[in-house]
Amino acid sequence: MKNLSFEPLTHQIYISDNLNNILESKRLAVIHDEIGTGKTVSFLLWMYNNKINNKKFKTKIIVPINVLYQWVDDIEFFFKNKFTYKVIDENLTCENLNMYDFIIFTSYKYFAENLNYKSDFICYDEFRSLNESSYQCREGDLDDFTDYSKAFFDYFTINTESVIIISSDKFAYIYGKDALYILQSYFCEFKHGRMFKRNNFSLDVTNLPLIKSNFKLNDVKPQKQYHQYTVSKLSELASRYLKDPIIYKLLLENDFENIKKCLEIKLKKNLSKKENILKDFYKSNSILDIIRIFKTNELELLEESKTILILDKESYNRQIYSKKLKKLDKKIDFTQKQIKTVNDRYEEIKECSICLCDLMDVSIYKCCQNIICEKCTKQIKNCPFCRKKNPTTIPLSGDGMSKKIQNERKQQKNTIDEIYNWKNSMNNVILNILKNSKATLIFRCGDSVLDLDLNTKIGFLGGSPKNRDNTLKEYRNGNIKVLYLDVGKDHSGLRLENTTNIIFENKPTETAEKQIIGRALRLGRQKNLPLTLHFLECSNLNSYDNRSDAESYSWSESYSWSESDTDSN
């Protein structure tokens, strides 16, 4: 290709050559190749060809913030100095925008503030950016609601630009009537599929004007490995009484400090004897004590409700009163049994998790709430469960927890060297995976990361676009060996073809899983570079299944590409 530093692949040339054919008769076109095949490069190639041939090409591009890196990276790597462009990712009104070939916006708000840029086309990267634009318009920024809403509808009613959507999904989910309005205004033959609640639509993308090369990635199949880990027995017990998705996630990681913060918020919302309970709560370092505080408070509230009901007996007819009293008695009885179970739980944990001897002098690790005997605490410097250095241990105390088991100790079965590989915690499972890994992505829900205490530099993708770009460059250059990503926010728009391992701490949706694997399996990946997928599952806690029923298509067990196309771009 003329004056380019790379040789475009056949399917990218096909898309570039044929996109204009669709736009001659339609105001809407969808670039619809598979994940990892270089759709962004194909679109940039189309703009470049139009530019050198003096055709229309000036474009407004709207992308989600997490996809911005891919655009800038592709422009600078494949089309350096071939375009003049500007990225607007902050609240900024710019002058002289018409001097640029194209503008990239990360928000419809910024787009609406710079309508003076005269373009020939509008490009949405993925239907998600179309949905986000319509939401930003409808919801606005509080006081700006009317202005943005009006600007949105006025603009898309009178403008003459054509729309290009880049998407690899066969089915798109259109959230709200505003995004649907955009599509209908550009493609009058538009047909949507199923309608979900609150006017959300399932769209078969193949009903839209498509440009698709049918290029497929093949021949290389990542290995899949499944790992099971366990949490402490106390965390397992806590999961029975503390029903909350956030607390559940923290229990999986034995993150007691953050569990305590979550419970503190809940306690303050509903307390029968606030000052005394909070005082006990702040002093406590054992999750068993915390659960007992919760359940004791719950029991007091139930007994107060029963007293009020009895005093107000005359206000109810006999049948309703009897039904309410019976229901309260049942709840009180159940809560009393729960409290007894918590108080007796220590007696059920008869073995030290490390030496497997009967427990005599018992302590609990403050860091991860695992139980250990006094003998082991003297022999082990670091916590064998979560690897915390110089951990604090707390003697177990409280009603039903102060009894010592007087049986003779069994002969020690494990040496200290064996201890560190004996406990199957999430940390240890991940550390074992990382031993021989060159570049690893760890996908999880939420922003915090496990303290793996590695010499290897660990990166977390967050902060401003500049910080995100720097982190990604460090990972691709090999300075960061382990990169944490949020499965909800960071599963698309990243080129991380140096990745050798992907660890899933949480089960992703099928669509997210497909996108995540596409971060590593991209054109330009070394031909013989292996990729292993690691799926983690807790063996002694019931899991929350967050796969969406709305996402109807399945994902193949293999993801690969052609050897002839490697190292091309």
Neighbours of 326 (CB within 10 A): 10
Q: Where are the domains of the chain?
A: 10-211, 223-229+424-565, 232-348, 351-422
Record the tokens describing residue 89, joined without a space. 């990712």
Inter-residue contact 553 to 171 (CB < 8 Å) = yes
Q: Using alpha carbons, select from 9, 508, 494 the residue that is nearest to residue 213.
A: 9
Of 137 and 46, the one with more pLDDT: 46
**pLDDT score of 547 more than 70:** no
Q: Tell me the one-letter amino acid at 456.
A: T
- 351-422 belongs to CATH 3.30.40: yes
Distances (CA, A) of 302 to 140, 188, 273, 274, 335: 44, 61, 13, 15, 9
Of 150 and 310, the one with more pLDDT: 310
How sure is the predictor about 552, in pLDDT bands with cuts at 50, 70 and 90? very low
| Long-range contact pairs involving 504-507 (C-beta distance under 8 Å, separation at least 24) | 504/443, 504/533, 504/534, 504/535, 504/536, 505/252, 505/426, 505/442, 505/443, 505/444, 505/445, 505/536, 506/249, 506/443, 506/444, 506/445, 506/546, 507/535, 507/537, 507/543, 507/545, 507/546, 507/547
**pLDDT score of 378 more than 90:** no
How sure is the predictor about 563, in pLDDT bands with cuts at 50, 70 and 90? very low
233-278 pLDDT per residue, tens = 666 656 665 656 666 666 666 565 666 666 666 555 555 455 555 5
**pLDDT score of 179 more than 50:** yes
Which numeric CATH code is attached to 223-229+424-565?
Answer: 3.40.50.300
Inter-residue contact 113 to 155 (CB < 8 Å) = no
Distances (CA, A) of 53 to 2, 48, 50, 79, 123: 11, 9, 5, 16, 20
Burial class (CB in 10 A: 0-12, 13-18, 19+), 124: buried
Residue burial 55-94, b: 16+ Cβ < 10 Å; e: rest: eebbbbbbbbbbbbbbbebbbeebbeebeebbbbbeeeee
Whole-structure pTM value: 0.59
Contacts of 412 (CB under 8 A, 6+ apart): 355, 356, 357
Record the tokens describing residue 18, joined without a space. 């044929």
CATH class belonging to 10-211:
alpha beta
Record the tokens describing residue 295, joined without a space. 């359940």
Dihedrals phi, psi of 333, to nearest 5 degrees: -60, -45
Please give the pLDDT value at position 75. Answer: 92
438-466 pLDDT per residue, tens = 888 887 765 555 656 555 677 877 777 67
CA 343 to chain centre: 37
Of 97 and 398, the one with more pLDDT: 97
Read off the pLDDT of each residue in 60-87 and give the average, rounded to a whole number: 87
**pLDDT score of 360 more than 70:** no
Percentage of the chain exceeding pLDDT 70? 59
Examine domains 10-211 and 223-229+424-565 and report if their fold is the same: yes
Burial class (CB in 10 A: 0-12, 13-18, 19+), 7: exposed
Distances (CA, A) of 566 to 267, 511, 521, 562: 57, 25, 11, 7
Contacts of 27 (CB under 8 A, 6+ apart): 162, 163, 186, 187
